[in-house]
Structure 1
Amino acid sequence: MTDADAYRKAWEPDNTIPYPRAEWLAHYTAPAATFPAIDFLPIDMSVVYTAYLEDAQFDLYSRIDLDMGRDGKLRLAVVGAVPEDKDDMLFCLDLDSGQVLLLGVGDGTLELVNSTFKALAEFLYEFALFIDADTGGAGRAQRAKALRAKLNAIDAGALADRESWWSVALMQLGAKG
């Protein structure tokens, strides 16, 4: 298990922001095991993730309740966004299941990003380590393939669909699925 200092080092100490872990654990039904052991997230992770939502349509950690018809309400909390489209593509924690979903605000789409909030943090950690060590060019595809294998061991569901958020991000690095 990776400790808080390793996460801070990978994400850089000035590039982290606390999230209300204790409050969410006390008030929502997502199992404690689905949360990262840490109580902070990175602010900015290259092209894959940002928690910097200033001037965006939704605030970080704001609640979004979606009416799912007969299935009731889907209770979500915004935990980040796609940097290129932070008004429309939101990473949301399902406050009941602990899954992280990508919400397309404009068209109402939902896509699994990670099976747990903990897995999202681990993916962002491993991605940061990859980026820090990456020199580009020769060998990147092989390193990206190794990253895919590591991420698959953490959360195979996040990579099961070739069109999923993480599958596409890894393909852009040169890792074929």
Structure 2
Amino acid sequence: MPDKAAFLQAWEPDNTVPYPRAAWMAEYAAPAASYPEVDFLPIDMSVVYTAYLEDARFDLYSRIDLDMGRDGKLALAVVGAVPADKDEMLFCLDTGSGRILLLGVGDGTLELVNSTFKALTEFLYHFARFIDADTGGAGRALRAKDLRAKLKSIDPEALADRESWWSIALMQLEGTKG
């Protein structure tokens, strides 16, 4: 598990934004172990993640109560978005379980991204290190397979479905189509 200094080095100090870790841990039912050890997130991570939501429909850390019909409401907190689709695809913390879900804003779809908020930050850390070490196409596919193995050891659930967010991102790096 990387420490605070390692996260800052991978994400660069000017590319981070604090999130209300202590307040959320006190307010939300999500288990303490589901939270990252650090109280900040990257602002921008290439094509996989952004916390820069200016001019988007929702603000960073907005609370969304999603109507689940007979099951009641699912309380979510926005922790980022898909950079190319900030208005429609949001990364959200399930405040009850600590999972990170991808919310399709237009149609209310939900997809598991990571089994914990902590796992999301670790994935983003390793993805940043992958990007920093990238020298171009030669060797990228092999390095991406190594990255997949590392991420799978952190959160197997995130990669269990070949159509999941992380599976597709890694297939693109590996040069496969799925």
Same fold (TM > 0.5): yes
1-structure distance, mates of 2:36, 2:175? 26
* Alignment: residue pair count: 177
1-structure distance, mates of 2:18, 2:158? 24
2-structure distance, mates of 1:21, 1:175? 37
For 1:79, what is the secondary structure of its paired residue? strand
The residue type equivalent to 2:17 in the other structure is I
The answer for unaligned runs of 5 or more in structure 1 is none
2:7 aligns with 7
1:66 aligns with 66
- Counterparts of 1:1-177 in structure 2, within 5 Å, are 1-174=1-174
Deviations 1:65-99 (A, max 9, x none): 01112212100000000000000000000000000
Deviations 1:5-25 (A, max 9, x none): 100000001000000000000
1-structure distance, mates of 2:118, 2:39? 11
2-structure distance, mates of 1:39, 1:99? 17
For 1:33, what is the secondary structure of its paired residue? helix
**Alignment check: 8 A CA contact 1:144 1:175 kept:** no
Deviating 4+ runs (over 6 angstroms): none
Identity of aligned residues (%): 80
CA root-mean-square deviation: 0.9
If the length of structure 1 is used for normalisation, what is the TM-score? 0.98
1-structure distance, mates of 2:102, 2:13? 26
2-structure distance, mates of 1:60, 1:88? 14
The residue type equivalent to 1:89 in the other structure is M
Residue range with higher mean Cα deviation, 111-120 or 63-72: 63-72
For 1:52, what is the secondary structure of its paired residue? coil
**Alignment check: 8 A CA contact 1:148 1:175 kept:** no
